[in-house]
């Protein structure tokens, strides 16, 4: 069985590998890629999405530019993590061969969802998805599920209690969580189990193709910033975890819990308040990822890059 999937992203090193996984895994039918400001400006994120799809040879997948800022807040980008291009590491001088769609992300989302139900995997701020649900509420029934790489059940990575994708646009996350569309959160508590360790880099090197070498260079740059900023010996590859959850739910174990997005707190805006122990008595409204089958996850990611390398 294949899953029709829309990937809404802000590439970003980890988004890049999420795109490759979604393109290559036979369980996924990737219908569209939409971009949003977050890791960098939407201009650079759109070029990066086109770049990754070009490297994957996926010229048939439309790429549409989305929101250039959060719903109500000023944009904060993560160039300290992802570099000046948003995808630093290997040097590219050519224009990506995959073109940008003439449609906006909103227009493309509407067009795709009217044609068939699909799962949305979001690996950035939820601005595009919130706007879609507000402007086109009738299309909510055609969204099978929203699987988000964002949030955390524990600490944050851009503020003490806020993960970056939640922090950039908490108002959008609040709209999406309260929409009633089935929602799964793959937060830092589980993505920090997806570390790009030396054995992973060795597996990439053994593939020995230009694409694998580019991925290795991306991960090497990503590792350097995570080491400098956070003291990680190996960086966590956040975003492909959300794609892996769609491909095979057994890879990412989830529990049902109540989730609330903090939008008003002076020190806690962007916090994802997950009631794992039922303290509040509020009903469960989300699936919360809590554990990763690391071996199965890396088999999927490495397998995708290998598959694309022989196409």
> What's the helix, strand, coil split of the chain in %, to 5?
40, 20, 40
- The answer to whether the beta carbons of residues 196 and 13 sit under 8 Å apart is no
Instruction: For residue 230, give the H/E element and its range.
Output: helix 210-230
CA–CA distance, 49 with 101 (Å, rounded to integer): 12
- Residue 279 in 3-state DSSP? coil
Choosing from 13, 82, 192, 238, the catalytic residue is 238
Q: If we measure between CA atoms, which residue out of 147, 12, 135 comes closest to residue 79?
A: 12
Q: If we measure between CA atoms, which residue out of 36, 46, 105, 48 comes closest to residue 75?
A: 36
- Find the DSSP H helices in the chain: 13-24, 42-55, 79-82, 105-115, 127-135, 164-168, 170-177, 188-191, 198-207, 210-230, 240-247, 294-309
Tell me which residue has tokens 């770049």.
Answer: 51
Query: What letter does residue 213 receive in the DSSP assignment?
Result: H
82 is catalytic: no
- The answer to whether the beta carbons of residues 156 and 179 sit under 8 Å apart is no
pTM: 0.97
**How do the pLDDT tens digits run along the chain, 311 residues long?**
799 999 999 999 999 999 999 999 999 999 999 999 999 999 999 999 999 999 999 999 999 999 999 999 999 999 999 999 999 999 998 999 999 999 999 999 999 999 999 999 999 999 999 999 999 999 999 999 999 999 999 999 999 999 999 999 999 999 999 999 999 999 999 999 999 999 999 999 999 999 999 999 999 999 999 999 999 999 999 999 999 999 999 999 999 999 999 999 999 999 999 999 999 999 999 999 999 999 999 999 999 999 997 65
Residue 208 contacts by C-beta under 8 Å, 6 or more apart in sequence? none
- Find the DSSP H helices in 78-159: 79-82, 105-115, 127-135
CA–CA distance, 67 with 130 (Å, rounded to integer): 11
């Amino acid at each position: 069985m294949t899953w029709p999937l829309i990937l809404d992203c802000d590439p970003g090193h980890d988004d890049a590998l999420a795109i490759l996984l979604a393109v290559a895994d036979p369980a996924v039918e990737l219908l569209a890629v939409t971009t949003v400001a977050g890791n960098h400006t939407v201009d650079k994120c759109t070029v990066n999405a086109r770049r990754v799809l070009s490297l994957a040879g996926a010229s048939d997948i439309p790429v549409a530019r989305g929101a250039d800022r959060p719903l109500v807040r000023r944009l904060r980008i993560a160039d300290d993590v992802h570099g000046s291009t948003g995808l630093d590491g290997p040097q590219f001088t050519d224009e990506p061969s995959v073109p940008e769609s003439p449609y906006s992300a909103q227009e493309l989302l509407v067009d795709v969802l009217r044609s068939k139900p699909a799962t949305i995997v979001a690996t950035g701020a939820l601005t595009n998805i919130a706007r879609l649900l507000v402007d086109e509420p009738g299309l909510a029934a055609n969204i099978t599920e929203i699987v988000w790489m964002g949030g955390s059940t524990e600490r944050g990575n851009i503020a003490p209690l806020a993960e970056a994708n939640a922090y950039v646009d908490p108002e959008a996350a609040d709209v999406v969580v309260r929409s009633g569309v089935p929602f799964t959160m793959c937060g830092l508590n589980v993505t920090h189990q997806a570390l790009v360790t030396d054995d992973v880099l060795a597996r990439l090197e053994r593939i020995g193709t230009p694409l694998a070498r580019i991925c290795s260079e991306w991960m090497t740059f990503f590792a350097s910033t995570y080491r400098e900023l956070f003291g990680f010996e190996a960086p966590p590859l956040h975003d492909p975890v959300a794609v892996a959850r769609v491909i095979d739910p057994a890879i990412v174990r989830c529990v049902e819990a109540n989730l609330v997005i903090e939008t008003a707190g002076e020190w806690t805006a962007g916090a994802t308040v997950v009631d794992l122990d039922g303290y509040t008595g509020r009903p469960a409204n989300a699936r919360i990822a809590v554990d990763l089958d690391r071996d199965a996850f890396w088999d999927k990611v490495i397998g995708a890059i290998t598959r694309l390398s022989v196409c």
